[in-house]
């Protein structure tokens, strides 16, 4: 066996190991890990004030918890071209920022630098128990108020989220505001999970959503606005110039700029019927 042939074998083996280490999704399209797209430095820039003393969730949402939770959902931020991946991550971070915002119009560094300021709903108006839901019955004296980055609410969300993630969401809903990794997992679970006929936020942002005739009649077109509709359309969509929708868009625009990617079309749900 010649030295030249051995060298060629070594070169081929090295190339093979390189592509395996990148976890090649398809030829020429390596899957870039979330930690490469969202570095700790970028994460800290996005959530500039999350650990301020003014934020009740101070120190609850560390970078490591976000990265660890994201590994539980391997398709999150790894589907589609690089721009699509960045846009999906930006959309997710924008939505959880609005849900947990501590910002205000004249806040230092602007209102869109105050995401992840809260870890649970303050002064809930009820215990968010749908007593008619027999599949996920409430436990006595338990509150299913908003908790975590997506502000997971209602027994019919806590139950299936817990089942999917390995905790008792009905008996121990408080864990969502006591364990940062579980908190992020519940947000990502909500983001990734399809609830037919409602699509998943993930599928909308990566181009896998296909509008039905009902969707088209309801003006539900793919884009960040449809994600808002999935999350809270019953209260926010179908209302032109709604402040809550505009706040979500404000976060999204700031984050897409930081990711150096465009926002895509259909940012609001002003003329969409709610899901």
Give me the active site residues, please.
Answer: 99
Q: What does the alpha-carbon distance between residue 239 and residue 103 come to, in Å, rounded to a whole number?
A: 22
Quick count: other Cβ atoms within 10 Å of Cβ 198?
12
Q: What does the alpha-carbon distance between residue 98 and residue 252 come to, in Å, rounded to a whole number?
A: 10
Do 226 and 266 contact (CB within 8 A), yes or no? yes
45 upstream amide cis, omega within 30 of 0: no
Q: What does the alpha-carbon distance between residue 138 and residue 127 come to, in Å, rounded to a whole number?
A: 10
Here the tokens at position 175 are 């864990």
- Residue 272's region, left for phi above 0, alpha for psi from -120 to 50, else beta, is beta
Here the tokens at position 200 are 């998943």
Q: What does the alpha-carbon distance between residue 268 and residue 165 come to, in Å, rounded to a whole number?
A: 31
């Amino acid at each position: 066996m010649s030295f030249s042939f051995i060298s060629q074998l070594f070169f081929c083996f090295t190339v093979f190991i390189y592509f395996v280490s990148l976890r090649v999704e398809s030829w020429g399209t390596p899957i870039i890990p979330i930690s490469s797209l969202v570095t700790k430095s970028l994460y800290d820039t996005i959530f500039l004030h999350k650990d301020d003393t003014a934020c009740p969730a101070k120190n609850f949402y560390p970078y490591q918890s976000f990265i660890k939770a994201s590994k539980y959902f391997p398709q999150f931020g790894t589907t589609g071209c690089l721009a699509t991946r960045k846009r999906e991550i930006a959309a997710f971070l924008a939505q959880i920022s609005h849900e947990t915002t501590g910002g205000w119009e004249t806040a230092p560094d602007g209102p869109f630098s105050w995401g992840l300021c809260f870890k649970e709903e303050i002064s809930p108006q009820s215990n968010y128990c749908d007593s008619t839901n027999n599949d996920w019955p409430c436990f006595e004296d338990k509150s299913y108020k908003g908790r975590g980055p997506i502000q997971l609410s209602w027994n019919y969300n806590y139950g299936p989220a817990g089942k999917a993630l390995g905790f008792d969401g009905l008996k121990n809903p408080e864990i969502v505001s006591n364990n940062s990794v579980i908190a992020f997992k519940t947000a990502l679970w909500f983001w990734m999970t399809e609830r037919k006929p409602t699509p998943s936020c993930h599928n909308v942002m990566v181009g896998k959503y296909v509008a039905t005739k009902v969707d088209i009649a309801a003006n539900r077109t793919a884009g960040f606005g449809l994600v808002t509709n999935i999350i809270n359309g019953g209260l926010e969509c179908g209302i032109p110039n709604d402040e809550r929708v505009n706040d979500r868009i404000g976060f999204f625009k700031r984050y897409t700029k930081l990711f150096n990617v465009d926002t895509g079309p259909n940012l609001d749900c002003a003329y969409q019927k709610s899901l």
